[in-house]
Copies of this chain bind each other. A is one copy, B any other.
């Protein structure tokens, strides 16, 4: 029943956000080298979790739905812009069930489309001024700049580990990276700006970092698990893509900690290889070692712990917020991030 509430709400808020987003996609030249490209990811199927969380938080704190819609659109635009660039940086091949943008159009045009989408995300945030004035709109832009900086720091950490084949990435470093790279955009920013809109700026934003971190980290770990065990058709990225890309996940960190010295050296040697130099046998071997050491179960257990902490933060944060479907959705979302497949 709670699950049904989550999917219904995601669908409802997601469609409204998609419709509003379409109005921000320019219908003019240059189409073939720019505007067709940047419309691709936003039009592919996506969960719309970030934008829905923003709308639900705004409503739970007292806003009307339409007051949060522009900011929800900005979140999706920026999220998709970062996905385009992430896919280039990670040399990913699949996104939402289709080839990545740079695979389809080459790196130069894809990179430029991502830049355009990034700065187009400012448009609805500037338009916010007609809804709730320039002061609160600027406050939200300030939050946007902070979030973008946190995301970029997280991305730099992860890319740096991969480039340098770092041997000293422990769980604490991993969680800091996830806080920055994933949680700020996925959960912290949507709930902070949602609460700003709902309260017209009259709320302490600090606790939203804790809540967003716990939910967002559980979400990311589950996402990484799905990359290994998920149903490929529904998941939309290539199976074992993270292993091919040499991504530092909680499962990989656990494996490196639990395995023998010989195995550890072999894993690092494999991580060192470029994507094209790796073989399916090598990927299978890492994957099999992860099972042997129970790394996926271990990660799932950490994710459950984080979700529990998120529910605790939720109860503090929403103690005095009146009951509503949106409030229920936010609570239910915590469990949902672990259960989606």
Contact = CB atoms under 8 A, between A and B. Distances in A.
Contact of A156 (B112, B141, B144, B148): B112
- Most chain-B CB neighbours within 10 Å: which of A85, A115, A116, A153? A115
Nearest to A108: B89
Copies assembled? 2
Q: How would you classify the secondary structure of chain A's contact residues: helix, strand, loop or mixed?
A: helix
A5 interface: no
Nearest to A33: B160
Interface stretch (A131-139, A193-201, A204-212, A258-266): A131-139
A129 B138 contact: yes
Contacts of A29: 153
Contact of A32 (B90, B118, B141, B160): B160
A64 interface: no
Interface in A234-291: none
B160 A30 contact: yes
A107 interface: yes
A165 to B, nearest CB: 13
Interface stretch (A12-20, A120-128, A310-318, A329-337): A120-128
A196 to B, nearest CB: 14
Given A33-B156, A126-B141, A148-B119, A88 B111 contact: yes
Contact of A106 (B112, B116, B163): B163
B159 A108 contact: yes
Given A138-B129, A155-B112, A107 B89 contact: yes
A89 B111 contact: yes
A162 to B, nearest CB: 8
A134 B126 contact: no
A26 B138 CA distance: 21
A126 B138 CA distance: 7
A141 B122 contact: yes
A177 to B, nearest CB: 10
A305 to B, nearest CB: 27
Given A89-B107, A107-B89, A112-B85, A145 B119 contact: yes
Given A29-B153, A108-B159, A122-B145, 10 more contacts: A30-B153, A34-B153, A34-B156, A89-B108, A90-B108, A115-B148, A116-B148, A116-B156, A122-B122, A134-B134
Interface of A: 26, 29-30, 32-34, 82, 85, 88-90, 106-109, 111-113, 115-116, 118-120, 122-123, 126, 129, 133-135, 137-138, 141-142, 144-145, 148-149, 152-153, 155-157, 159-160, 162-163
